[in-house]
Amino acid sequence: MANEVKKVRLAIVGCGGIAHLHMQGYEQIKRAEPEKFEIVAVCDPIDERAQEFANWAEQFQGKRPQVYTDHEVLLKEETDNLDAVDINTPHHLHHLIGIACLEAGLHVMIEKPIGITVKATKAIMEAAKRAGKFAATAENIRRGVPQRTAWWLFNENKLIGEITLFYAIQVGYLPPTQPGQEPEWHWRVNKFFSGGGLVLDSGAHFCDTIRYLFGEVKQVHAVVKRIVPRPFRKNDELVIDDREDTWMAVLEFESGLMGLWSYTNTAPAHEFTQVVYYATEGALVDIGDAFHGPRGDALVKHVNGQVRSLNELSKDFRAAIGEEKWQKLFPHDFTNGFTLECYDFLDAVQNNRPPEITVEDGLRAKAISFAIYEASATGQTVKVQDVIDGNVEVYQRPINEHWGLQ
Ligand SMILES: NC(=O)c1ccc[n+]([C@@H]2O[C@H](COP(=O)([O-])OP(=O)(O)OC[C@H]3O[C@@H](n4cnc5c(N)ncnc54)[C@H](O)[C@@H]3O)[C@@H](O)[C@H]2O)c1
């Protein structure tokens, strides 16, 4: 009996874009460990999306989940049949739905950036404490083999010495929207629904990764702007996208490390991306973008001329940590970050342990993004801790007021 662990009874709320990658993950987990979980209910206000997920789950688990179009009805009817909820909604709903699930006594995993503002995230954190349940941040990027290898490179192996500085710069060009060809409005375009643009959205991944690799960011200096106005069509009206298209941010870490993180999509005729992490005896040169790396084909270049990719180095990493630790990071040899985040969530619920990336981690990562917005809004250097403590809240205040977040 002691070894008998209960199947996790799961609901999925929000069956849009990213939830498809969670579902692929659950399908993969089901094949490897059929007794790990069962999807009991799915929910999306767009009924066809929820139905599609119910069909999909039925096909890999043999039993069709209940379908809901309202999370309140789901909680009313299914709470006793559930242990946990995986929430994949637009940002403004993270805290509203997350807190309702926690108050119903269910563990939650909420997609990054876990809350629309710092206050929203703290409200989720407090609800989790009150309920004695956990809130996990769904974060897939740091779980990849290259990112885990980069952690080992900088924190244990030290092949290129100690990290000193980094440049993560992505300069691209998105041609201005032509009249009559405006894209359809969606929730990401308005910061009352999204909280911000790429500093916060894909930026949540970069901020989590740099914290994971290099520790806490102490303070930031930054300028954030929209340079090219971009209209979207909402019904018959044209609405301006109020998110940033450009930023330059200097990050100073508690350790003394400094980094420049900059992005634009307004630079015609000469686009470039340079993401390079410098250490005392070499550099890690990423080939990817300024959000989702470092990638497996990133090159570890030693000042003595030796060059190896992170993919090559991952074999040394595996040998160095041994099979037991490797299997903890990559159970069933899963390497897809979404599968791994879903597995960590289920396993944490099943074994009554904290997930790897908690709501507190999500808060600390997003506080870097908000420190960048706040530094630009105030024209001051901003300490990340002051953003967490609510001492600086110029950019976020209207969003907090809009959602009644005190
Ligand atoms: N990890 C990643 O790489 C990654 C990538 C994209 C998005 N995301 C995150 O995933 C989340 C969702 O983004 P997306 O791109 O999938 O958005 P999306 O718009 O494609 O999907 C959101 C879904 O939520 C549904 N929804 C809206 N209101 C709801 C409600 N009250 N109850 C239940 N469902 C509701 C929508 O109908 C839609 O199907 C965001 O937090 C986003 O930042 C993560």
For residues 375 and 128, the answer to whether their CB atoms sit within 8 Å is no
User: Could you tell me which of 401, 368, 403 has the C-alpha nearest to residue 387?
Assistant: 368
φ/ψ of residue 234, rounded to 5 = -115, 110
Spatial distance between the Cα atoms of 96 and 89, rounded to a whole number of angstroms: 10
Among 253, 230, 269, 237, which Cα is nearest to 368's?
253
Expressed in angstroms and rounded, the spacing between residue 305 Cα and the centre of ligand 1 is 45
Token pair in block for residue 314: 């991952």
Give the mutation target among 12, 13, 15, 18 for probing the ligand 1 site: most ligand atoms within 8 A of CB.
Answer: 18
What are the start-end ranges of the E strands in 61-181?
66-68, 84-87, 107-111, 135-138, 163-171
* Residue 238 φ then ψ, to 5°: -100, 130
Predicted pLDDT at 242: 86
How far from the centroid of its chain's Cα atoms is residue 281's Cα?
31
The rounded distance, in Å, linking the Cα atoms of 211 and 284 is: 17
d(CA 13, ligand 1 centre) in Å: 9
Cis before 294? omega within 30 = yes
Three-class HEC string of 10-39 = EEEECCCHHHHHHHHHHHHHHHHCCCCEEE
The tokens describing 113, both together, are 């950036």
And the tokens for 57? 């789950």
Q: Which of 23-45 are b and which e, b meaning 16 or more Cβ less than 10 Å from the residue's Cβ?
A: bebbbbbbeeeeebbbbbbbbbe
| DSSP annotation string for 330-365 | SGGG---HHHHHHHHHHHHHHHT---SSBHHHHHHH
Closest-CA residue to 30 (of 60, 65, 63, 66): 60
The ligand 1 atom at the shortest distance from the C-alpha of residue 337 is 1
3-state secondary structure of 194: helix
| Burial class for 332, CB neighbours closer than 10 Å (0-12, 13-18, 19+) | middle
Which structural domains are found in the chain, ordered by start?
8-140+336-357 (3.40.50.720), 142-330 (3.30.360.10)
Amino acid at 164: T
Of 99, 111, 140, the one to substitute when testing ligand 1's pocket (max ligand atoms within 8 A of C-beta) is: 111
Q: Name the residue with the closest Cα to ligand 1, atom 4.
A: 18
- The whole-number pLDDT of residue 4 equals 57
Place of tokens 């005896």: 281
In sequence order, the 6+-apart residues with CB closer than 8 A to the CB of 287 are 293, 295, 297, 298, 299
Q: In angstroms, rounded to a whole number, what is the distance separating the alpha carbons of residues 114 and 314?
A: 30
Closest CA to 137 of 375, 347, 364, 323: 364
User: Does residue 152 contact residue 320 with C-beta atoms inside 8 Å?
Assistant: yes
17 Cβ below 6 A of ligand 1: yes
For the packed helices 203-214 and 359-378, what is the interaxial angle rounded to 10 degrees? 110
Residue 348 Cα to ligand 1 middle (Å) = 23
Does the CB atom of residue 70 touch ligand 1 within 6 A? no
Tens of each residue's pLDDT in the chain, 406 residues: 344 579 999 999 999 999 999 999 999 999 999 999 999 999 999 999 999 999 999 999 999 999 999 999 999 999 999 999 999 999 999 999 999 999 999 999 999 999 999 999 999 999 999 999 999 999 999 999 999 999 999 999 999 999 999 999 999 999 988 888 899 999 999 999 999 999 999 999 999 999 999 999 999 999 999 999 999 999 989 998 989 999 999 999 999 999 999 999 999 999 999 999 999 999 999 989 999 999 999 999 999 999 999 999 999 999 999 999 999 999 999 999 999 999 999 999 999 999 999 999 999 999 999 999 999 999 999 999 999 999 999 999 999 999 999 8
**Which of 13, 20, 22, 44 to mutate for ligand 1's pocket (most ligand atoms within 8 Å of CB)?**
44
For residue 378, give the nearest of 148, 171, 211, 220 by alpha carbon: 220
Distance linking the first and last C-alpha atoms of the chain: 47
- The reported pTM is 0.97
